[in-house]
Amino acid sequence: MKFTHTTRSLKGELTVPGDKSISHRAVMFGSLAKGTTEITHFLRGADCLSTIDCFRKMGVEIQEFPERILVHGKGLHGLHAPASILNCGNSGTTTRLLAGILAGQTFSSEITGDASIQKRPMERIIKPLLQLGASVKSLKNNGCVPLKIQGHPLKGIHYHSPVASAQVKSCILLAGLYSDDITSVTEPSLSRNHTELMLSYFGARVRAEGTTSSIAPGSSLYGASVKVPGDISSAAYFLVAALMVPGSEVLLRNVGINPTRNGILRVIRSMGGEVKILNKIIVGGEPTADLLVHSSHLHGTVIEGTLIPSLIDEIPILAVLATVAEGTTVIRNAEELKVKESNRLNLIVDNLSRMGADIESTEDGMIIHGGRTLRGTVIDSHLDHRIAMSFAVASLIADGETEITNAECVNISYPAFYEDLFRLI
């Protein structure tokens, strides 16, 4: 896809699609609940459709209507053995959370995914699942999918996770639903807590204190109504576009601003950016608000430490933002970006360098000296949705033409991304 327009400013309002993490969890927990779960503003991206497909293969009836999804839950022990291998597509959340659920079943199953998922590390879930008592085998012996999982009676454990990862934490907590005692996870810093919030909302006995979350086994989940807030990770592209392009004013409606996800708002503030938080409400435990953003004069900042998990998916677009900020932006402690849908650290630095930015990579992040004008070039998305969207936004401030290859990979998390972007410019 080619971007040749000269952007004057972004104006208008937008409701971004539903949060990806929350949409996945609503289908999964709804499947394990008694009764029906109604999900509105569900994200119909390829990742969440992979989750629906996997649960349908285990006998869950899931109805899709234009305005809502109905999940007819089977209860904690009602899933069937799937007749075929469960395909999680490109979705790390489906793969890792599903593995935790499968570890608690009485049947054996296999899960796999696309070429990208087949390279992502699964040792981080295999190790705790083995400690819980499940049998989990990487069929190619490389610590990746395909995995064969045989559920066993599980025992409660306390696990110290070496990474701040909500996928790892959620995998363990979900297996903990099936164990004989309390299961808890301590992380090096707090990752997103949608699992804890939604499992409580569905009736599970979950506790969270500092960086430790725990679950008591056995309690039934009950179907509920889930109103999915807009995804702050999708809103991020428009926040950054509006901040960078002079004369812009954009209102983003109904965006999730959960403190474990809203690091981008804190970074924008620290860079001098203007984002107003309006009409704040709490829905299903998840804080949600309208965000009004104006173009702003920005300066460099440091993004590191406990902030990283709260903006992990926004680092590619924040790197684009840093190219227009006055002075230097340092991003560190972000090594997790190397094992996302692509090696995002490499792709950000490589592509922004080729656009003319002053950027260098470090062991666990990057250093960006702002102020150089970007120029258009060909950007290989490597089929990574967040790389494609970040560089579509970078094209708005670049001279000349930017071409993004495999641009349709935005289907993973934001199928109407380009239409929404073109509507505002």
Q: Can you give the binding site for ligand S3P, defined by CB under 6 A?
A: 21, 92-93, 165-167, 170, 191-192, 312-313, 336
- Other CB atoms within 10 A of residue 291 CB: 26
What is the spatial distance between Cα 314 and Cα 294, in angstroms, rounded to a whole number?
19
- Least gap, CB of 95 to ligand S3P (angstroms): 10
3-state secondary structure of 342: coil
Distances in whole angstroms, Cα of residue 131 to Cα of each of 157, 158, 398: 7, 10, 51
Nearer to ligand S3P, 21 or 262 (CB): 21
Cβ contacts of 148-153, under 8 Å, gap ≥ 24: 148/108, 148/109, 148/110, 149/99, 149/102, 149/103, 149/108, 149/109, 149/110, 149/111, 150/108, 151/102, 151/103, 151/104, 151/105, 151/106, 151/107, 151/108, 151/178, 153/180
3-state secondary structure of 85: coil
Nearer to ligand S3P, 170 or 296 (CB): 170
Distances in whole angstroms, Cα of residue 198 to Cα of each of 203, 224, 376: 9, 10, 43
Nearer to ligand S3P, 25 or 57 (CB): 25
Sort 317 into a burial class: Cβ within 10 Å, 0-12 / 13-18 / 19+. Answer: buried
Nearer to ligand S3P, 21 or 288 (CB): 21
Phi, psi angles (nearest 5°) of residue 65: -120, 165
Pairing of strands 2-3, 36-40: unpaired
Annotated catalytic residue, options 19, 313, 380, 420: 313
- Least gap, CB of 174 to ligand S3P (angstroms): 11
* Tokens coding 299: 């300066």
- Least gap, CB of 341 to ligand S3P (angstroms): 8
- Least gap, CB of 43 to ligand S3P (angstroms): 11
In this structure, what is the dihedral angle of CA atoms 321, 322, 327, 329, given to the nearest 10 degrees?
150
- Least gap, CB of 292 to ligand S3P (angstroms): 26
- Least gap, CB of 294 to ligand S3P (angstroms): 28
Instruction: Check if 180 is active-site.
Output: no
3-state secondary structure of 2: strand
Nearer to ligand S3P, 185 or 352 (CB): 185
Nearer to ligand S3P, 170 or 183 (CB): 170
Catalytic positions are 313
